[in-house]
């Protein structure tokens, strides 16, 4: 075993059979620093091998003043005189989009009957733990009531389809493993097509079979 010392000061052991020795103790911060060092070294090496790529200047037309200017960045849009104006206009626009506050309204909670302030006028429950739990059940029940007819048709179709196409292979590939029962129309629950999971998923996602 070889004992090495990391740059952070810690010591670590390296077995003798290891050909490529690591340069860090294995700590996360040391690994990150080593990765950054390698990236810097590779960038400097590339810069020395290809100096012509870093000495190119481009002539670009400024977006604001419509005057040509020279730069090393091909994606530049503004000259030096217009750069400050562009940054100021962008920061002002960004500030107003990020700090815009909606109108605060007062709402009475359906559960505890307390008045609370919120930026959402359709919010029905306050932020208390018991009220949040009540809100979850309230919204789930409301969703179930809305889709109750759809759930009834689905349940009926699935219960009937369990009695049909038993032990039938997939109509596409002929597989007998994990057969699904596909309905083109849930109003006709007896019209069932046996499919394997792959082709059942392909039909529902409009993939080519």
A 10 A CB-CB count for 8 gives 11
pLDDT digit string (tens) for the chain, length 209 residues: 778 777 777 787 777 776 666 777 777 778 788 888 888 889 889 888 888 877 788 888 988 888 898 888 878 888 888 887 777 666 555 554 444 445 678 888 888 888 888 877 788 888 888 888 888 888 777 776 767 777 777 777 777 776 665 678 888 888 888 888 887 777 777 778 888 888 888 887 764 44
Return contacts of 153-159, CB within 8 angstroms, 24+ apart.
153/186, 153/187, 154/186, 156/189, 157/183, 157/186, 157/189, 158/189, 159/189
Q: What is the pLDDT of residue 151?
A: 75
Q: What is the pLDDT of residue 98?
A: 47
State the virtual CA torsion across 183, 184, 185, 188 in degrees, nearest 10.
-60
Which single residue is written with the structure tokens 């307390």?
Answer: 114
- The continuous run of DSSP H or E covering 105 comes out as strand 105-108
Q: What is the pLDDT of residue 96?
A: 47
Answer left, alpha or beta for residue 26, where phi above 0 means left and psi between -120 and 50 means alpha.
left
Question: Do residues 179 and 170 lie in contact, with contact meaning Cβ atoms separated by under 8 Å?
Answer: yes
- Reduced to 3 states, what is the DSSP secondary structure of residue 139? helix
107 phi and psi, to 5 degrees? -130, 150
Q: Which residues pair with 194 in a beta bridge?
A: 181
Question: Do residues 183 and 156 lie in contact, with contact meaning Cβ atoms separated by under 8 Å?
Answer: no
Question: Do residues 124 and 109 lie in contact, with contact meaning Cβ atoms separated by under 8 Å?
Answer: yes
Cα 12 → chain centroid: 38
Q: Which residues pair with 3 in a beta bridge?
A: 13
- Kindly report the pTM of this predicted structure: 0.30
Q: Which residues pair with 37 in a beta bridge?
A: none
**Six token digits for residue 50:** 């290809």
For the chain, domain boundaries: 2-49, 56-80, 105-146, 148-204
Question: Do residues 148 and 157 lie in contact, with contact meaning Cβ atoms separated by under 8 Å?
Answer: no
Question: Do residues 177 and 148 lie in contact, with contact meaning Cβ atoms separated by under 8 Å?
Answer: no
Q: What is the pLDDT of residue 208?
A: 44
């Amino acid at each position: 075993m070889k004992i090495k010392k990391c740059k952070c000061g810690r010591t670590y052991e390296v077995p003798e059979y290891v050909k490529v020795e690591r340069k860090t103790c294995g700590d996360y911060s040391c690994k990150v620093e080593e990765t950054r060092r390698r990236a810097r070294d590779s960038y400097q090496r590339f810069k020395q091998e290809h100096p012509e790529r870093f000495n190119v200047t481009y002539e670009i037309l400024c977006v604001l003043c419509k005057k040509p200017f020279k730069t090393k960045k091909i994606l530049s849009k503004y000259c030096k005189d217009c750069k400050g104006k562009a940054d100021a206009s962008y920061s002002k626009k960004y500030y107003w989009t990020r700090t815009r506050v909606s109108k605060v309204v007062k709402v009475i909670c359906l559960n505890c009957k307390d008045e609370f302030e919120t930026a959402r006028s359709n919010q029905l429950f306050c932020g208390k733990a018991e009220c949040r739990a009540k809100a979850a059940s309230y919204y789930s029940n409301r969703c179930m009531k809305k889709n109750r007819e759809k759930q009834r048709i689905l349940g009926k179709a699935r219960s009937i389809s369990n009695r049909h196409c038993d032990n039938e292979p997939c109509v596409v590939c002929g597989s007998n493993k994990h057969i699904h029962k596909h309905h083109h129309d849930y109003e006709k629950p007896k019209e069932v097509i046996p499919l394997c999971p792959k082709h059942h998923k392909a039909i529902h996602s409009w993939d080519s079979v």
